[in-house]
Chain A
Amino acid sequence: MFTNFPFFPQQASEQAAQIDALYFFLVAVTAFFALLIATLVVVFSIKFRRKHDQEVGKAIHGSLALELLWTFIPLGITMVMFAWGAQVFFHMTRAPKGAMEIYIVGKQWMWKAQHLDGAREINELHVPIGKPVKLVMGSEDVIHSFFIPDFRVKADVVPGRYNTMWFTATKPGKYHIFCTQYCGTKHSNMIGTVTAMDAADYQAWLSGGASGGTMAENGAKLFSDLSCNSCHLENGQGRGPVLKGLYGKQILITGGQTVTMDDAYIRESVLTPQAKVVAGFTPIMPTFQGLVTEEQLLQLIAYIKSLGEAPSTAGTGTPGK
Chain B
Amino acid sequence: MQTTTAPPLNYLNNGHGLGSWLLTKDHKRIALLYLFSITLFFFLGGFFALLIRLELLTPAADLVEPDMYNRLFTMHGVVMVFFFLIPSIPATLGNFLIPIMIGAKDLAFPRINLLSWYIYVLGGLFTLVVAVTGGVDTGWTFYAPYSTSASNSHVILAGVGIFITGFSSILTGLNFIVTVHRMRAPGMTWFRLPLFVWAHYATSLIMILGTPVIAITVLLVAVERGFHLGIFDPSLGGDPILFQHLFWFYSHPAVYIMILPAMGVIAELVQAFSRKNIFGYTFVAFSSLAIAIIGFLVWGHHLFVSGQSTYAGLVFSIISMFVAIPSAVKVFNWTATIYKGSVSWDSPMLYAFGFIGLFTIGGLTGLFLATLGMDIHMHDTYFIIAHFHYVMVGGAIFGYLGGMHYWWPKITGRMYPEGWAKFACLNIFIGFNLTFFPQFIVGYLGMPRRYAMYAPEFQVYNVLSTAGATILGVGYLIPMVYFAWSLKGSPLAGNNPWGARGLEWEIPSPPPTENFTETPIVTEGTHQYAPSHEVGIV
Q: Are B342 and A154 in contact (CB under 8 A)?
A: no
Q: Are B139 and A45 in contact (CB under 8 A)?
A: no
Q: Nearest CB to that of B352 among chain A residues? A: A41
Chain A contacts for B277, CB-based, 8 A: 59-61
Chain B contacts for A270, CB-based, 8 A: none
Q: Nearest CB to that of B461 among chain A residues? A: A5
Q: Does B433 contact A (CB under 8 A)?
A: no
In Å, the complex CA distance between A260 and B534 comes to 68
Chain A contacts for B6, CB-based, 8 A: none
Chain A contacts for B235, CB-based, 8 A: 159-160
Q: Are B373 and A87 in contact (CB under 8 A)?
A: yes
Q: Does B252 contact A (CB under 8 A)?
A: no
13 A-B pairs besides A142-B145, A143-B240, A158-B307 with CB distance below 8 A are A30-B365, A45-B353, A82-B370, A86-B317, A141-B145, A145-B380, A147-B380, A150-B446, A176-B446, A182-B143, A182-B146, A186-B66, A272-B237
Q: Nearest CB to that of B235 among chain A residues? A: A159
In Å, the complex CA distance between A33 and B325 comes to 13
**Chain A's nearest CB lies how many Å from the CB of B462?**
11
Known: A81-B371, A88-B372. A48 touches B340 (CB 8 A): yes
**Chain B's nearest CB lies how many Å from the CB of A300?**
18
Chain B interface residue count, Cβ-Cβ cutoff 8 angstroms? 108
Q: Are B335 and A41 in contact (CB under 8 A)?
A: yes
Q: Does A261 contact B (CB under 8 A)?
A: no
Q: Does A218 contact B (CB under 8 A)?
A: no
Q: Are B317 and A70 in contact (CB under 8 A)?
A: no
Kindly name the residue among B282, B365, B376, B449 whose own CB sees the greatest number of chain A CB atoms within 10 A: B376
Q: Does B368 contact A (CB under 8 A)?
A: yes
Q: Nearest CB to that of B321 among chain A residues? A: A78
Q: Are A62 and B283 in contact (CB under 8 A)?
A: yes
Cβ-Cβ contact count across A and B, 8 Å cutoff: 321
Q: Are B367 and A81 in contact (CB under 8 A)?
A: yes
Interchain CB contact (< 8 A) of A142 among B146, B310, B339, B446 = B146
Q: Are B343 and A18 in contact (CB under 8 A)?
A: no
Binding site for B on A (CB under 8 A): 2, 4-9, 18-19, 22-23, 26, 29-30, 33-34, 37-38, 40-41, 44-45, 48-51, 53, 55-67, 70-71, 74-75, 78-79, 81-82, 84-93, 108, 141-143, 145, 147, 149-150, 152-156, 158-161, 163, 176, 178-189, 191, 272
Chain A contacts for B234, CB-based, 8 A: 158-161
Known: A6-B445, A48-B340, A159-B235. A154 touches B279 (CB 8 A): no
Q: Nearest CB to that of B463 among chain A residues? A: A2
Q: Does B345 contact A (CB under 8 A)?
A: yes
Q: Does B162 contact A (CB under 8 A)?
A: no
Chain A contacts for B380, CB-based, 8 A: 145, 147, 154, 180-181
Q: Which of B128-136, B173-181, B182-190, B450-458 contacts A (4 or more CB under 8 A)?
A: B450-458
Q: Does B423 contact A (CB under 8 A)?
A: no
Known: A147-B448, A156-B307. A63 touches B353 (CB 8 A): no
Chain B contacts for A181, CB-based, 8 A: 143, 380
Q: Does B276 contact A (CB under 8 A)?
A: yes
Q: Are A37 and B331 in contact (CB under 8 A)?
A: yes
Q: Are B345 and A159 in contact (CB under 8 A)?
A: no
Provide 23 A-B residue pairs closer than 8 Å at the C-beta atoms, listed in order of the A residue: A5-B457, A22-B373, A22-B374, A23-B374, A26-B374, A29-B364, A41-B356, A44-B338, A48-B274, A48-B342, A51-B342, A56-B529, A57-B341, A60-B340, A62-B333, A78-B324, A92-B376, A147-B446, A152-B377, A159-B235, A180-B380, A180-B449, A188-B66
In Å, the complex CA distance between A33 and B335 comes to 12
Q: Does B122 contact A (CB under 8 A)?
A: no
In Å, the complex CA distance between A156 and B535 comes to 55
Known: A85-B317, A184-B150. A62 touches B276 (CB 8 A): no
In Å, the complex CA distance between A186 and B65 comes to 10
Chain B contacts for A70, CB-based, 8 A: 328-329, 332
Taking CB atoms and an 8 Å cut-off, the chain B residues in 444-482 that contact chain A are: 444-446, 448-457, 459-461, 463
Q: Does B13 contact A (CB under 8 A)?
A: no
Chain B contacts for A272, CB-based, 8 A: 237
Q: Nearest CB to that of A163 among chain B residues? A: B307
Q: Does B14 contact A (CB under 8 A)?
A: no
Taking CB atoms and an 8 Å cut-off, the chain B residues in 296-328 that contact chain A are: 304-307, 310, 313-314, 317-318, 321-322, 324-325, 328
In Å, the complex CA distance between A67 and B329 comes to 7
**Chain A's nearest CB lies how many Å from the CB of B278?**
8
Q: List 8 tightest A-B contacts by C-beta distance, closest first.
A: A149-B446, A160-B234, A88-B373, A57-B276, A85-B371, A89-B372, A57-B341, A59-B530
Q: Nearest CB to that of A275 among chain B residues? A: B237
Q: Are B306 and A158 in contact (CB under 8 A)?
A: yes
Q: Does B43 contact A (CB under 8 A)?
A: no
Taking CB atoms and an 8 Å cut-off, the chain B residues in 493-527 that contact chain A are: 499
Q: Are B305 and A154 in contact (CB under 8 A)?
A: yes
In Å, the complex CA distance between A155 and B87 comes to 35
Chain A contacts for B532, CB-based, 8 A: 59
